[in-house]
């Protein structure tokens, strides 16, 4: 027998859903009065858990270590994983498959109850989560996954499907979801708006999400299967009635944080961290800061905090000068001789993989594990909060859709004008960060006005992926843009291209994992790790010459 135990937070968030298997006698002796039998559980009870946990997972990647990889942020304490790619097999997909197990139950119960809205939602979330898994690791259990309760060695130790198989399955499921979600809202039964923390039960918005995900994955495979990718994207764009897309930042796929407990609060907030270290150890990365400054980008002030004490170096100061005067640290040239410093009076980013002691950067007077540096920009103080209007886990945006179409048009595909899509992507991103009024001036800038290159499209997409950095990493891997460079303290001299398979999986499901490892392409940067390396190339990158 199985019991579903749901813990419901205030204001509608379901924060935990656990499937517990056990012997019949034990479960009869330990009946939870708040539990729900798997055979009768209402899909509306399962759906919030799937949606919230998927969004939190995506935000955790895109705001934490992957933000370090794509050089949005850097850390100056506990920085090895974030700055230097010192992952060493520590990543696990157990949580991802946990979300998928709950989603499979959502699908099963929706099918049994004839609830097509919930079936469509489950297919979209299945696609989103399996897409994330194969994007991060490469080959992974797919067709044989999530069947352990059926018994048998095959179901307990599933084979790894190829990346190509997984992407093809995702695209097929999204096509089905588009059909399931194509009816007016009034024609669906038992839709509880509060259970849908993304769209409040609106099937049209879910349909837009499904089709935008199709664009994402067609573009993902465009280097390996260019004709299939072109045909898929052109088919969607040519039929807007049949394949509606996200065209407004008001319809971004995003989840707000409630801020009532550690489980539903923004991850860097000080709600349960009196010292504030979750917030303080994260700094802006110099790569992003300097790129935004060169273009007078209004989003910089939304995301970053001005440096607390700027450095001022002048020949007018007597030799040996090192003092804070009127909120500025005055330094004579002899004091900083041979030291690289950044004297920008407004924003200073921490260079990527700077050193073994990144907290010492820019003459920090108190280097070490304090995470305090008055000479480097912290994130905007809103990232200390538990919740707020801009504190959202963003899964897919109108900006991303426009940049995908801009790149497709740049490739010569029949999807409209590249410059128009590019401009729409910038507009949507600015609007989502409350600086839409700056669009006209920004787009007229010499380094922003469309120049007809893939590089410019991908760089603007990289900016727009702030807090959703996984997509920027996946774009970088297939295109080489932005042209990011690893810093001197990085584990390798180039950026990684995948996660390691975790050791538990290698031990338990060894035979299948070994077959997947053999399908990876070893590179000159992966030799120290063997086949299971973050610098070994999965199918998606093999033969492309990208990103390095």
State the DSSP H helix or E strand holding residue 256, giving kind and residue range, or none if neither. strand 253-256
CA separation for the pair 518, 523 (Å, rounded): 13
CB 364 within 8 A of CB 280: no
Percentage of the chain modeled with pLDDT above 90: 86
Choosing from 384, 413, 446, the residue where a domain stops is 384
- The reply to whether 287 falls in a domain is yes
- The reply to whether 378 falls in a domain is yes
Q: Which two tokens stand for residue 101?
A: 């197990």
- The reply to whether 436 falls in a domain is no
- The reply to whether 64 falls in a domain is no
State the DSSP H helix or E strand holding residue 15, giving kind and residue range, or none if neither. strand 14-21
Residue with tokens 């807090």: 467
Predicted local confidence at residue 19, as pLDDT? 43
Q: What three-state secondary structure class fits 151?
A: coil
Q: Please give the C-alpha separations between residue 356 and each of 80, 350, 367, 378, 488, in angstroms, as whole numbers.
A: 8, 13, 11, 19, 9
Predicted local confidence at residue 528, as pLDDT? 85
Number of domains in the chain: 2
Predicted local confidence at residue 274, as pLDDT? 57
Q: Residue 71's closest CA among 419, 370, 495, 435? A: 495
- The reply to whether 403 falls in a domain is no
Predicted local confidence at residue 148, as pLDDT? 78
Q: Could you give the count of Cα atoms lying within 13 Å of 50 in the half-sphere of its Cβ? A: 27
- The reply to whether 15 falls in a domain is yes
Domain residues for 8?
1-38
Predicted local confidence at residue 27, as pLDDT? 39
CB 195 within 8 A of CB 122: no
- The reply to whether 407 falls in a domain is no
Q: How does DSSP classify residue 250?
A: G
Q: What three-state secondary structure class fits 548?
A: coil
Predicted local confidence at residue 270, as pLDDT? 67
For the chain, list residues with pLDDT below 50. Answer: 1-12, 14-31, 33
Q: Residue 96's closest CA among 66, 126, 121, 123? A: 126
CA separation for the pair 335, 363 (Å, rounded): 10
Phi and psi angles of residue 209, each rounded to the nearest 5 degrees, phi first: -60, -45
Predicted local confidence at residue 377, as pLDDT? 98
Predicted local confidence at residue 149, as pLDDT? 77
Q: Which two tokens stand for residue 281?
A: 């150890």
Predicted local confidence at residue 147, as pLDDT? 86
CA separation for the pair 327, 281 (Å, rounded): 22
Choosing from 358, 384, 410, the residue where a domain stops is 384
CB 88 within 8 A of CB 500: yes
Predicted local confidence at residue 88, as pLDDT? 82
Q: What three-state secondary structure class fits 14?
A: strand
Q: How does DSSP classify residue 258?
A: -
Q: Which two tokens stand for residue 254?
A: 């995003």
Predicted local confidence at residue 277, as pLDDT? 73
Predicted local confidence at residue 371, as pLDDT? 83
CA separation for the pair 516, 225 (Å, rounded): 21
CB 163 within 8 A of CB 537: no
CA separation for the pair 326, 324 (Å, rounded): 7
- The reply to whether 147 falls in a domain is no
CB 218 within 8 A of CB 229: yes
């Amino acid at each position: 027998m199985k019991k579903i135990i749901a813990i419901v937070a205030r204001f509608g968030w379901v924060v935990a859903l656990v499937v517990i298997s056990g012997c019949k006698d034990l479960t009869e002796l330990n009946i939870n009065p708040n539990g729900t039998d798997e055979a009768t559980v209402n899909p509306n009870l399962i759906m919030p858990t799937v949606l919230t946990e998927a969004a939190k997972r995506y935000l955790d990647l895109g705001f934490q270590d992957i933000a370090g990889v794509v050089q949005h942020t850097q850390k100056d304490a506990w920085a090895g994983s974030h700055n230097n790619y010192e992952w060493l097999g520590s990543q696990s997909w157990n949580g991802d498959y946990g979300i998928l197990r709950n989603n499979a139950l959502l699908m099963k119960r929706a099918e049994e109850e004839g609830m097509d809205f919930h079936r469509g939602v489950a297919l979209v979330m299945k696609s989103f989560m399996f897409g994330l898994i194969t994007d991060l690791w490469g080959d992974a259990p797919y067709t044989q996954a999530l069947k352990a309760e059926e018994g048998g060695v095959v179901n307990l130790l599933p084979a790894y499907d190829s990346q190509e198989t997984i992407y093809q399955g995702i695209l097929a499921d999204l096509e089905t979801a588009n059909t399931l979600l194509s009816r007016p809202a009034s024609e669906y039964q038992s839709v509880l708006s509060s259970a849908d923390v993304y769209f409040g039960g609106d099937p049209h918005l879910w349909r837009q999400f499904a089709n935008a995900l199709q664009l994402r994955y067609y573009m993902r495979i465009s280097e390996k299967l260019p004709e299939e990718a072109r045909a898929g994207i052109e088919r969607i764009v040519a039929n807007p009635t049949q394949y509606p897309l996200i065209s407004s930042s008001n319809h971004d796929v995003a989840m707000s944080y409630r801020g009532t407990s550690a489980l539903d609060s923004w991850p860097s907030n000080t709600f349960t961290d009196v010292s504030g270290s979750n917030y303080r150890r994260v700094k802006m990365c110099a790569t992003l800061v300097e790129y935004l400054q060169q273009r007078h980008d209004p989003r910089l002030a939304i995301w970053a905090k001005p440096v607390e004490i700027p450095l001022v170096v002048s020949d007018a100061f007597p030799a040996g000068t090192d003092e804070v005067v009127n909120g500025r640290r005055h330094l004579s040239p002899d004091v900083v001789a041979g030291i690289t410093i950044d004297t920008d009076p407004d924003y200073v980013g921490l260079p990527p993989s700077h050193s073994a002691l990144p907290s010492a950067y820019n003459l920090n007077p108190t280097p070490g594990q304090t995470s305090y540096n008055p000479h480097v920009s912290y994130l905007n103080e809103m990232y200390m909060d538990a919740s707020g209007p801009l504190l959202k886990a963003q899964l897919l945006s109108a900006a991303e859709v426009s940049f995908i179409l801009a790149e497709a048009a740049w490739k010569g595909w029949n999807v409209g004008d590249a410059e128009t899509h590019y401009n729409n992507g910038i507009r949507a991103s600015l609007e989502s960060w409350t600086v839409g009024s700056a669009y006209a001036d920004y787009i007229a800038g010499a380094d922003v006005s469309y120049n007809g290159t893939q590089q410019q499209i991908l760089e603007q997409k990289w900016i727009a992926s702030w807090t959703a950095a996984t997509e920027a990493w996946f774009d970088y891997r297939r295109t080489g843009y932005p042209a990011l460079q690893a810093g001197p303290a990085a584990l390798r001299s180039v950026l990684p291209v995948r996660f390691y398979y975790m050791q538990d999986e290698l031990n338990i499901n060894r035979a299948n994992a070994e077959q997947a490892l053999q399908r990876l392409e070893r590179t000159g940067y992966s030799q120290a790790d063997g086949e299971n390396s973050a610098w070994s190339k999965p199918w998606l990158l093999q033969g492309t010459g990208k990103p390095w």
